Structure formats: C-alpha cells, structure tokens
Amino acid sequence: MSAKKISPSDMLENSVKLAGRQATLDLAAERISIHKSGIEFRSPKPFTEWSEMTVSLQSPVDGSHLSCHGIVVACAGSKHAGYHVSMLFTGMTPEAEKQLGKIAQTQFGTL
C-alpha cells in the first residue's frame, strides 16, 4: 500500500471508528491513510495480526457512511511510541469498492 500524510486542517471533524474483539478505537483523520484495498493507522493499542475487524468510515466526498470488514495484516511498534497497523479489507461489494475508491482519492489516501 502507498501512503499519504493527512493534514489535520483538512479533516478537522472527521474520524474513523475501528471495532474488533481486542478494542474499539475512534481515530482522528490525521492518524489514518485509506487505500482502495485497506487502511493504515497509528494506534495506542496493539492489534493481533490476522484478527478480524470492522471499520466505519464517513466519506468526505458525500458524507455517506461505509462499513468495511477486514483483517489486520501487520502491527509494529511499542507501547511507548504507538503502533502502526495495516489492515486489508475483505468481502467488499462492488458498490463499497467504488465508494472506497472515491474516498482513497481524497486527502484520506491515495490509490
């Protein structure tokens, strides 16, 4: 996945909610990078690789909500510095893929 840094002034009110068996997080937009096939984010908590999670996104394009299921494919870091988590989305409908592609083309991320 390629990444793009998000400026805090770009998305002041947007956040992403991540929910899994291990934790539920509400992350500010500047802590995430969205791609057409997944998401990367910084977390204060570690996530077990290969665990399933659900991500709820609100599109900056049209304000619609999108819920994506996926698998954590990487988690690196420490409790002092935080964790960099990479998640791959699975089982997406063609409509959801199209909507996620639009989000990935905004300041949230890159294709």
pLDDT in tens, 45-73: 888 999 998 888 777 767 778 888 999 99
Cα angle vertex 31, ends 85, 22, to 5°? 45
Output the pLDDT for position 7. Answer: 37
Output the pLDDT for position 14. Answer: 57
Output the pLDDT for position 80. Answer: 93
How many separate domains does the chain show?
Answer: 1
The rounded percent of the chain whose pLDDT value lies above 70 is 69
Tell whether 102 is covered by a domain. Answer: no
Tell whether 19 is covered by a domain. Answer: no
List, in sequence order, every residue forming a beta bridge with 35; answer none if it has no partner: 38
Tell whether 72 is covered by a domain. Answer: yes
SS3 label, residue 45? coil
Higher pLDDT: 105 or 66? It is 66
Tell whether 68 is covered by a domain. Answer: yes
Tell whether 85 is covered by a domain. Answer: yes
Tell whether 96 is covered by a domain. Answer: no
Range of the domain at 54: 31-91
What residues contact residue 24 under an 8 Å CB cut-off, 6+ apart? 17, 18
* Mean pLDDT of the 22-49 span: 81
The answer to whether residues 85 and 72 touch, using CB atoms and an 8 Å cutoff, is yes
Tell whether 38 is covered by a domain. Answer: yes
Tell whether 59 is covered by a domain. Answer: yes
| Amino acid in the structure at residue 101 | G
Helix, strand, coil in percent for the chain, rounding step 5: 15, 45, 40
